[in-house]
Structure 1
Amino acid sequence: MILVITFFTAVCLLILGVSVWVLIEEIFTVHVPLAITHRGNLLEKMKICSMPRFFRFIQDLVVPKNNFGVLVKNLHFGTIPVRLFQPKTTSSGPRRGIIFYHGGGCVFGSLDCFHNMCSYLARETDSVVMSVGYRQLPDHHHPSTLHDCLNATIHFLKDLKTYGVDPARVLISGESVGAGAAAIISQLLLGRQDLPQIRAQVLIYPILQAINFQLPSYQQNQNDPFLSRKFLMTCVCKYLAIDLSLIDAMLKGNVIPPEYWKKYKKWLSSDNIPQRFKSQGSQPEFPGLFNETAYLETNNIFDVEVSPLLSDDKIVAQLPEAFLVSCEYDVLRDDTLLYKKRLEDQGIPVTWYHVEDGFHGCILLFDKNIFSFPCSHKVMNSVVSYIKSI
């Protein structure tokens, strides 16, 4: 019976993955010619639900939840849903705390989707894990996601005793866009005398800037099936309420004022990427000819609450130590490399784990049996090992 259930679950996951990939373009269709009346999501047309919401529902439906050895509680911090994972084993004192923000590009992903990962982290590291169910597209745009993550974090930090958490061992963690949120919140919490200080930031292939889309990894992995550059930029634009017609200008850097690039290239230029990660051959000229109109429509990309890589040195120098995961076959690989350099330049301890056979999102497959990959286990094991060292 167990084998049948496992097989059924695996088939459902495979079908879901293929379906999401085939329909991903449809999710973000902007201009649909009137003559093509059959296009679009039937549920969306019937005003039942949007396609992203439908796929989140299906995604959560087919992912079995593993609570082995862990007590799980669904709570609300105000209006923000959170899920608490606490090991069932007794503890001689307060446990380590992990605040986790899930990935999914603010389109997919949910508390349910990342349930098994958080449960595993809680059990294997003997930590209390708090996962945040933040608001997402299509109904909510920036800064809703960030505000939900920040407010839930503050609420948790103010009440650590209730959850049996050691205030000296609280980590902020995230995956993909959630890792980007973790980096931003690590900066926003600096100097808060009313809250415990964050012990470390654990960032799993984060997105950390929305300015230079011509970095080597953005070119080398632009057609990666797990996160293409086109889909990434579509998510960025949707999240920031930027018209998709401006994607080409953003790609070419036409939205970057010359004086801005003069200031930021020391942090965002491809010159900061180690040579071994660069392909041979000519590179496109970047940034392109400045377009003021496009800049005015996209200038929120220069906000440090969107691109934390742009924070001043005096902010970066105060950040907690970091554990950074990057994957070779990931369009976001170089964001991690740039952040690593920024932290190290300011004397912040960094532990970097690069997965040569890794791809974006691979950690979610760590428990998917035959659909798992060696890189999935490598990433998960590296995260667990680092957290246990804190």
Structure 2
Amino acid sequence: MSKLMSRVPLGVQAGFARAVFALPGPVRRLIAGPPIRVDGQELALDAQLLLVLDRLGDHEFVRGTPEQARANLARTVPLVAGPPIEPVAVRELSLGGVPARLYTPAEDTDAMLVYYHGGGWVLGTLDSHDNTCRYFAREAGVKVLSVDYRLAPEHAFPAAVDDAVSAFRHAHAKAADFGVDPGRIAVGGDSAGGNLAAVTSLLTTRDGGPAPAFQLLLYPGADSSVRRPSRDLFAEGFFLTSANIDWFCDHYCPDVAQRSDPRFSVLLAEDLTGLPPAYLATAGFDPLRDEGEAFGAKLADAGVPVTVRRQRDLIHGYASFLGLGTRFREATAEAAGALRTGLALARP
């Protein structure tokens, strides 16, 4: 069945997926199967249904070479992202040589989010996270500057970190050109992008600034030095797998000794004091869940104002699934609200 579905044009598959998610709850439950419960949590019906459709369409998250995986991601994004969110003005630009895309909402704003996309430092583009950035621009009422940092294995660690920090510093230096307050620029990202946002906050703070006003960290990778329980609890079957994580790390940072560097495993930084306030979200059914929450706890212990929120019924990547169902948007809406509030409180 999965091989048959994989031959169906993606536009037809996208229409089929939207139709399935529009069915009455009992029918969707029948298609998804019995509820899945792990670690005292029950998987959301929307997430369980997405996983079923993912298997039927044979859309494995990571497959083959990096080039093949990138092509697969480009094909499947339209299935889950949904139609472009409007009204948002979009402009391509460069941040000191780093390609970027600026999203401007209809409402007037002097706040900005510098956003780093997910994809394990190997996958992801400005296009793969286009609708996620559109969503934050519209719902948080901020300008979003999406950064197209260099990817591994062509550009291994710490190239992505260098680009992430450079992009933030460029945005801060050119704040007047963007029409934003330099004191109201946040950093954020999902998964590997959440890692880069946290690392950017760490490095700019330790360098004496300028530093971000706020951190928006969605299910970030935080520590590759320890294998925590969630890595085994959700090793397979919940979108991001343990094998995927190994694949990403091997491409991004093949030198295992370097993986204890706080620029890679930010949780291992000795001192987190003075970092910007943060909203850190994890997904209950995510192998990265425990390391993300450990980082949130360490931020709190360092006196950083932080909200750590576990979306108990969701899977990794939920901010990219805005075109299906309602639960993914609900969780992402909470993040947008936290960003809006965090930057409002940063106003002089």
Q: TM-score range by the shorter chain?
A: 0.7 to 0.9
Aligned to 2:138, what secondary structure does the other structure show? Answer: helix
Alignment of 1:235-384 (within 5 A): 235-242=248-255, 298-313=256-271, 316-366=272-322, 368=323, 371-372=324-325, 374=327, 376-384=328-336
CA distance in 1, matches of 2:204, 2:333: 28
Q: In the alignment, is the contact (CA less than 8 A) between 2:115 and 2:187 conserved in 1?
A: yes
- Larger deviation, residues 71-80 vs 298-307: 71-80
Aligned to 1:24, what secondary structure does the other structure show? Answer: coil
Aligned to 1:320, what secondary structure does the other structure show? Answer: coil
Distance 1:112-1:199 versus aligned 2 partners, 3 A rule: same
Structure 1 counterpart of 2:171, one-letter code: F
Q: Displacement of 1:174 after TM fit?
A: 0.6
Residue number in structure 2 paired with 1:54: 71
Aligned to 1:189, what secondary structure does the other structure show? Answer: helix
Task: Choose from 78, 83, 88 the match for 2:106.
Answer: 88
The structure, 1 or 2, with the larger RCO (C-alpha pairs under 8 Å, 6+ apart) is: 2
Distance 1:219-1:16 versus aligned 2 partners, 3 A rule: closer
Aligned to 1:152, what secondary structure does the other structure show? Answer: helix
Task: Choose from 135, 143, 152 the match for 2:150.
Answer: 135
Matched, 1:26 2:26: no
Residue by residue over 1:24-44, the C-alpha shift from the partner in whole angstroms, topping out at 9 and shown as x without a partner, is 34337xxxxxxxxxxxxxxxx
Structure 2 counterpart of 1:206, one-letter code: P
Q: In the alignment, is the contact (CA less than 8 A) between 1:224 and 1:329 conserved in 2?
A: no
Aligned CA RMSD, in angstroms, stands at 2.5
Task: Choose from 196, 207, 213 the match for 2:221.
Answer: 207
The higher radius of gyration belongs to 1
Residue number in structure 2 paired with 1:388: 340
Alignment of 1:169-184 (within 5 A): 169-184=184-199
Gaps of 5+ in 2: 1-9, 19-52, 343-348
Q: In the alignment, is the contact (CA less than 8 A) between 2:139 and 2:337 conserved in 1?
A: no
Q: Displacement of 1:106 after TM fit?
A: 2.2
Aligned to 1:155, what secondary structure does the other structure show? Answer: helix
Matched, 1:220 2:233: yes
CA distance in 1, matches of 2:68, 2:188: 28
Structure 2 counterpart of 1:363, one-letter code: A
Structure 1 counterpart of 2:223, one-letter code: Q
Gaps of 5+ in 1: 29-49, 243-297
Aligned to 1:351, what secondary structure does the other structure show? Answer: strand
Aligned to 2:235, what secondary structure does the other structure show? Answer: coil
Indicate the percent of aligned positions where both proteins have the same amino acid.
Answer: 27
Structure 2 counterpart of 1:303, one-letter code: D
Residue number in structure 2 paired with 1:100: 115
Q: Displacement of 1:17 after TM fit?
A: 8.7
CA distance in 2, matches of 1:323, 1:353: 8
Q: In the alignment, is the contact (CA less than 8 A) between 1:52 and 1:138 conserved in 2?
A: no
Structure 2 counterpart of 1:372, one-letter code: G
Residue by residue over 1:118-176, the C-alpha shift from the partner in whole angstroms, topping out at 9 and shown as x without a partner, is 11111122111100011213422212211121111111110111111122221110100
Residue number in structure 2 paired with 1:262: none
Q: Displacement of 1:88 after TM fit?
A: 2.9
CA distance in 2, matches of 1:228, 1:304: 23
CA distance in 2, matches of 1:8, 1:359: 21
CA distance in 2, matches of 1:70, 1:364: 17
CA distance in 2, matches of 1:144, 1:303: 14
Residue by residue over 1:363-384, the C-alpha shift from the partner in whole angstroms, topping out at 9 and shown as x without a partner, is 2112x1xx3351x123211111
Equivalenced residue count is 298
Aligned to 1:352, what secondary structure does the other structure show? Answer: strand
Given the two structures, how large is their TM-score scaled by the length of structure 2? 0.78
